Structure 1
Amino acid sequence: MRESLDRPAAERAQTSLPSLAVALVLLTVVTGLALAVADGTLSGHDRTADERRLAVTTADRLVAPAGPLAARANVLNATRVATFDRGRLVRSVPPARNTTVAVSLNGSRLAATGTTSGGTTVRRIVLVERRETRTVTPNVTGSGSVTLPRRTDSATITVSTPPGTELWTVRADERVVLHNRSGLNGTFTVSLVPYETTELRFEGAGVVPAGSVTVKYAPPRTTKATLVVTVDA
């Protein structure tokens, strides 16, 4: 009678063994998948953090006063922008040599070390400064003068007077910027105060023919733009 009672219990135990094995296999698979997902998530976070660090470093370098694009902090020189390329990007930001970095301005690609398909993007609002050189030939006979527009920070003055005529002083408003009592002749660059218009006044003796003095200046003109740096590791 006892033998007949133990047989079903043994049979039930044998029947449950395959189920237990399947459950263990499923548990192993689920654990492995969970660990893989967790590892992938951590790796993704690390990659994103690395991308952002490089993107911020690159953007900060490009808009810095001593950077390859800047005329001064957050103001880009239009000429430097036009000649910026992959080589200048890598020289300015060496880690870009081994990572895909792309730089664009107002949607136009300036330089890249590869093709980006995603990645991390950092933006900076900047000004782009352009200069157009202008030339005037003032009438300097007597107490002649010429007024230069605001934001003009320098001027190049060329003096070529004929014999018997002397031009010995040039003033920028009330400040003497050039003086030679024996007479000025040659080309001179003078610094000006850019925050207001500047009146250049010429002092000398004799009749100075037209064209004996030329003044070249290049006031800056700025436009707002968005600099975009994308890093796709």
Structure 2
Amino acid sequence: MSDRNRPAARAQTTLAGLAVALVLVTAVTVGGVVAADRALADAAGESLEQHRAERTADALVTESPLVSSDNGSAAEAIDLALANDTNATELAAAVPSLRGVAFRVRVDDRTIAERGDLSGGHTVSRGALAVSRRSVGGTVDLSEETTTTLDGRTNRVRLDVNPGSNTTVQTVRVGDRVVLHRPTGIEGVRVVEVSSRASPVIRVETAESDPSGSVDASAIAFDSTVVRIEVTVDV
């Protein structure tokens, strides 16, 4: 082989070696997870299927592609929109206990992800808080009223303040809290953080006794429910 061809040959050898190494690392990683799970299952007196199903169920309700923390509550919860959009590949990538096994995940008796042939296996279930989202809105017609209430709990409200030419909107409250205040007048769109404990009540205060114009309020409301997560794993 000429000296000119040796660098190319070495490069090809290096690439081939890297590919083999990556395959070996992947195999060792998956094998390590299986070995660790088997040891933990034996220690707990569980079958490997039961152990993996238990670990998966715990992960799905705490930290997984199904869980959202931006849901109008203080705790993480299953986001039903995310549950509708998920798939088996996403879950297996996020939850190590689902890798290399046949499994099914159901939410309130509805299958959201399934992979492989489940001829038997072990099934466990967990109760979990779940949320669904919907758009809500309301308008304060300043010539007729000073308040409006949005139908549903939320943690963020969009306010579009459009006072009439003879009107100065000075303060906007949500519940008892002042979210906007400017003595010289508030106009335009603002997004404010609000408490999610109750449906937001928007109150508008103006400098005039006979104002005109409007304040439009809109938000994404969160409806909470309890669902049953069911996981079946067949090793």
TM-score higher than 0.5: yes
* 1:29 paired residue number: none
Indicate which of 51, 61, 67 corresponds to 1:70. Answer: 67
Residues 5-64 of structure 1: per-residue CA shift (max 9 Å, x gap): xxxxxxxxxxxxxxxxxxxxxxxxxxxxxxxxxxxxxxxx96962222221221111111
Partner of 2:212: 208
Letter in 2 for 1:49: S
- In the aligned structure 1, how far is the partner of 2:220 from the partner of 2:78? 16
- Native 8 Å contact 1:75 1:128 kept in 2: yes
1:93 deviates by 1.0
Paired with 1:82 and 1:208, the residues of 2 have a C-alpha distance of 44
Give 1:172's aligned residue. 174
**2-structure distance, mates of 1:130, 1:197:** 15
Q: 2:93 aligns with which of 73, 91, 94?
A: 91
> CA shift at 1:103, angstroms?
0.6
Residue in 2 that maps onto 1:157 = 159
Q: Per the alignment, do residues 49 and 226 of structure 1 end up closer, same or farther by CA in structure 2, a change over 3 Å counting?
A: same
Report the secondary structure of 2:195's partner residue.
Answer: coil
Mind listing any 5+ residue stretches in structure 2 that lack a counterpart? 1-40, 70-74
Partner-residue secondary structure (3-state), 1:54: helix
Aligned counterpart, 2:55: 57
Q: How has the CA–CA distance of structure 1 residues 213 and 123 changed in structure 2, closer, same or farther, with 3 Å as cutoff?
A: same
Match of 2:130 among 128, 131, 137: 128
Give, as a single letter, the amino acid of the residue that structure 1 aligns with 2:52.
L
RMSD (Å) for aligned C-alpha atoms: 2.6
Choose from 183, 189, 192 the match for 2:191. Answer: 189
Deviates more, 1:185-194 or 1:130-139: 185-194
TM-score of the pair, normalised by structure 2? 0.68
CA distance in 1, matches of 2:215, 2:203: 12
Deviation at 1:85, TM superposition (A): 0.6
Number of matched pairs: 186
Q: Which residue is 2:34 aligned to?
A: none
Q: Is the 8 A contact 2:150 2:218 kept in 1?
A: no
Q: Which amino acid aligns with 2:228?
A: T
Deviation at 1:69, TM superposition (A): 1.2
SS in 1 for 2:179: strand
Tell me by how many angstroms 1:77 deviates: 0.9
CA contact (8 A) 1:142 1:204 kept: no
Judged with a 3 Å threshold, the aligned counterparts in structure 2 of structure 1 residues 228 and 161 are, in CA distance, closer, same or farther, namely: same
Gaps of 5+ in 1: 1-44
Where do 1:19-30 residues align within 5 Å? none
Q: How does 1:96-135 map to 2 (within 5 A)?
A: 96-135=98-137
Equivalent pairs: percent with the same residue?
29
Q: Is the 8 A contact 2:166 2:212 kept in 1?
A: no
Structure 2 residue identity aligned to 1:63: V
Rate the CA distance shift 1:229–1:136 in 2: closer, same or farther, 3 A.
same
Q: What one-letter code is carried by the residue in structure 2 that aligns with 1:56?
A: E
Cα deviation code 1:168-211 (max 9, x no counterpart): 211123211112233222322222223345432111235222xx
Query: Which structure has the bigger radius of gyration?
Result: 1
